Amino acid sequence: MSPDELKEIAQTETEAHDKFEHHLNVCMAAGCLSARADQVKDALEKEVKAKGLEHRCQVKGVGCMGLCAAGPLVQSERDGTLYKEVKAEDAAPLVENLGKKPLKKLQCRTDVPFFQKQEKIVLENSGIIDPERIEDYIRVGGYTALAKVLTEMSPGQVTDEMIKSGLRGRGGAGFPTGLKWSTVAKAQNGQKYVVCNADEGDPGAFMDRSVLESDPHRVLEGLAIAAYAVGAQQGYIYVRAEYPLAVERLNTAIRQARRRGLLGNGICGTTFNFDLEVRLGAGAFVCGEETALLASIEGKRGTPRPRPPYPAEHGLWDSPTLINNVETFANVAPIILRGGAWFAGIGTEKSKGTKVFALAGRIHNTGLIEVPMGTTLREIIFEIGGGIPGGKEFKAVQTGGPSGGCIPAQHLDVAVDYDSLKELGSIMGSGGMIVMDDTSDMVDVARYFMEFCMTESCGKCVPCRVGTAQLHNMLLKIGAGQATRADIALMEELCDLVRNTSLCGLGQTAPNPVLSTLRYFREEYEKHLAEEVV
Amino acid sequence: MKAAPSSPAPPSAHRGWKLVDATMRRHGREPYALIEALHTAQSSFGYLDKEAMTYVAHSLHVPLSQVYGVATFYHFFNLKPQGKHTCVVCMGTACYIKGGQQILEAVEHTCQVKAGETTPDGKVSLLTARCLGSCGLAPALVMDGEVTGKQEKDAVLAKVEEWRSHES
């Protein structure tokens, strides 16, 4: 497909779209679907037909609108009215009311901070386009970045643009994306691969799932651009088997892109060839670690290996391999279209752009948000998130999953970026934020994460395999009120050992939840100590 | 190109073996097809038994020990048959904070099984998931393949009881 053909499709689609007076967009991402959004969509379609409005009103399934707690969500595109908790029986009044005043009963206000304070780059198409139609993605400018790259830019220019943007890996570690790309591009070894890490394993994180369900083509486009920049012809998307809907939409998207000549041989009429395959994960958290993920793609047990050599030089089947996270790839197309300098203008000095966070736990507005780097935790939790329900007191926010830590109230005014969270003893991680109120026992929270790491330890290295099990035992002992001060000291020592001697990121970060709760909530540990010793 | 290695005959005429075979063929019967083949086998038969693992091992020319190693490494693969109904309790952080653990304990108590086990009558399998990614709906469960959110303990127990009381 040539750039002109892309434009043609975009134009035809826009005309077809504009023919309708009204558009009712129904969220069909996993959150709303499990609240039966599919029934709502069917009912709306039937109602539109029954009223003979099928040429004036379009009912469309779209991706995530963010406010998962209030699903199923339906948005009228014309005036932006958002309806929450819609049921199938609400279809009649909704259709009846089109073009009139919004239905008060179901209306969800959009003039609140949850919607106003967000800045969307990664999620800009989510909730607007139909994720199951490539044409709808092309309508909003999809694949023009790929066409631009292939027809106007050299691979070196693409990498330079990525370096200029300052984008850092969104998987959690924050490695500069442009630098990674240029390392793979420089590797002198025939076959190269690009891999998308969609093994979103952190409990409490669902950003990648949502992006894949809402805008899968955005990720494919990012992968294809990356492949061009580094000189790869084959790519893999490694996605959790626990996300069946994301897998299905990815496979649909790949099929459509192949049919349209946007994957395969001679993309956009150039000599560039690139194809993609989906690989299913099988429920091993450690496979989020890049070398373990590669082993898993090769059909083996997902155990990590020491680095160096890094995958950029010796990756999949020993070939140079570029691995980035879903959200990282989703940032690529806008950077190419609007320029690295534009992206670098958003965010903080060292962390550029925006970040998608999954808000969950004891918070009013659970769901998905995207904010510029540098937004404070207070803004995220109390303004966008709407604070803590039930008149309870905020206690801590857990970021970064089992590798992260708990941040207490006194640090709520910290501007969120990779470096500030690290200073606080947590990490950015992939973007899960679990809010806890005063009903949460921090020792139990630490135990919960340690149990997780213990179960998920692959068993290859001793510090992690044995260390996490011992730490879990110690936390159980503390929780049961049988521990002494000496036990806490011993636990701290063991944390240090596990952190410094484990083979991969899982073990190296496993002590973080313990260390951060000890740092900020030591009195809770002490409260649990055996009475006679206190 | 090396010649395609010979492949053994499927254990029976069950349609599932054709699907497993198709998956392996699509990947050129290379050893890296192992996980994909096990996925297909599990979705066809519900779990992986020795027969399935042996067939995959012979077809892909990998040792049976390696197949067993992979099948037991990944939590997603079941080596035992599942009950007629499955109840998966999400153990993600958001669900844990909102009471997923209590729901799990209640179901364990009612059914007299531990997570990962099936009731002796083969009616209900109780499983846990690391995180369903439906944190906005915490606590979330998957009841017979359907994700349901914002669950209350009593409603879950009622559903499980209903499954158990049904004949056959």
Paired with A422 in beta bridges are none
Q: Do A282 and B136 touch (CB under 8 A)?
A: no
- Any chain A CB within 8 A of the CB of B135? yes
Long-range contacts of B152-158 (CB under 8 A, 24+ apart): B153/B99, B153/B102, B153/B103, B153/B106, B156/B87, B156/B103, B156/B106, B156/B107, B157/B106, B157/B107, B157/B110
Residue A48 near residue A81, CB atoms below 8 Å: no
Q: Residue A242: which of B33, B73, B129 has the nearest Cβ?
A: B129
- Indicate the burial class of A266 (C-beta count within 10 angstroms; 0-12, 13-18, 19 or more): exposed
pLDDT for residue B139: 92
Q: How many CB pairs under 8 A join A and B?
A: 140
Measure the CA–CA gap between B111 and B129, rounded to whole angstroms: 18
- Which chain B residue has its CA at the smallest distance from A210's CA? B133
Q: Where do we find the tokens 């294809």?
A: A224
Q: Give residue A175's Cα distance to chain centre.
A: 16
Give A 283-322 residues with CB within 8 A of chain B: 283-285, 296-302
pLDDT for residue B131: 85
Question: Which 3 state secondary structure label does DSSP give A327?
Answer: helix
pTM, to two decimals: 0.95
Pick the CATH number of A346-437 from 3.10.50.40, 3.50.50.60, 3.30.830.10, 3.10.20.600: 3.10.20.600
Q: Give the orientation angle of helix B50-60 with respect to helix B34-45, to 10 degrees.
A: 150
Domain regions of chain B by residue span: 15-73, 85-165
Model ipTM value: 0.91
Tell me the pLDDT tens digit for each residue of B108-152.
999 999 998 999 999 999 999 888 888 888 899 999 988 888 899
Domain regions of chain A by residue span: 3-110, 142-343, 346-437, 442-533
- Any chain A CB within 8 A of the CB of B28? no
Partners of residue B140 in chain A, C-beta under 8 Å: 34
Partners of residue B97 in chain A, C-beta under 8 Å: 361-362, 434, 436, 440
Measure the CA–CA gap between A491 and B91, rounded to whole angstroms: 25
Structure tokens at A446: 């630490």
Phi, psi (degrees; rounded to nearest 5) at A348? -105, 180
Q: Residue A280: which of B36, B93, B136 has the nearest Cβ?
A: B36
- Any chain B CB within 8 A of the CB of A452? yes
Residues in chain B predicted with pLDDT less than 70, given as ranges, are 1-6, 167-168
Measure the CA–CA gap between A511 and A119, rounded to whole angstroms: 34
pLDDT for residue A534: 45
Span A442-533 CATH architecture: Up-down Bundle (1.20)
pLDDT for residue B133: 81
- Any chain A CB within 8 A of the CB of B103? no
- Which chain A residue has its CA at the smallest distance from B69's CA? A301
Phi, psi (degrees; rounded to nearest 5) at A26? -105, 130
| Protein fold of A142-343 | Rossmann fold (3.40.50)
A236: left (phi over 0), alpha (psi -120 to 50) or beta: beta
Q: Do A300 and B70 touch (CB under 8 A)?
A: yes
Residue B47 near residue B79, CB atoms below 8 Å: yes
Q: Where do we find the tokens 């499955």?
A: B86
Residue A242 near residue A349, CB atoms below 8 Å: no
Measure the CA–CA gap between A202 and A293, rounded to whole angstroms: 15
- Size of chain B in residues: 168
Q: Do B140 and A34 touch (CB under 8 A)?
A: yes
Phi, psi (degrees; rounded to nearest 5) at A266? 60, 50
CA-based Rg of chain B, rounded to a whole angstrom? Answer: 19
pLDDT in tens, chain A (534 residues): 888 999 999 999 999 999 999 999 999 998 899 889 999 999 999 999 999 999 999 999 999 999 988 989 999 998 899 999 999 999 999 999 998 889 999 999 999 999 999 999 999 999 999 999 999 999 999 999 999 999 999 999 999 999 999 999 998 889 999 999 999 999 987 899 999 999 998 888 999 999 999 999 999 999 999 999 999 999 999 999 989 999 999 999 999 999 999 999 999 999 999 999 999 999 899 999 999 999 999 999 999 999 999 999 999 999 999 999 999 999 999 999 999 999 999 999 999 999 999 999 999 999 999 999 999 999 999 999 999 999 999 999 999 989 999 999 999 999 999 999 999 999 998 899 999 999 999 999 999 999 999 999 999 999 999 999 999 999 999 999 999 999 999 999 999 999 999 999 999 999 999 999 999 999 999 999 986 544
Partners of residue A283 in chain B, C-beta under 8 Å: 74-77, 130
Q: Do A206 and B136 touch (CB under 8 A)?
A: yes
Structure tokens at B126: 């109780």
Q: Residue B137: which of A31, A205, A432 has the nearest Cβ?
A: A31
Partners of residue B146 in chain A, C-beta under 8 Å: 34
Q: Residue A282: which of B74, B134, B147 has the nearest Cβ?
A: B74
Paired with A343 in beta bridges are none
Q: Under CATH, which number does the domain A3-110 receive? A: 3.40.30.10
- Any chain B CB within 8 A of the CB of A141? no
Measure the CA–CA gap between A178 and A335, rounded to whole angstroms: 12
In Å, how far are A71, A167, A286 from B134, measured between CA atoms?
Answer: 12, 28, 21
- Any chain A CB within 8 A of the CB of B157? no
Span B85-165 CATH architecture: 3-Layer(aba) Sandwich (3.40)
In this structure, the number of other CB atoms found within 10 A of the CB of residue A341 comes to 12
**Rounded to a whole number, what is the distance in Å from the CA of B14 to chain A's nearest CA?**
24
Q: Residue B93: which of A33, A398, A456 has the nearest Cβ?
A: A398
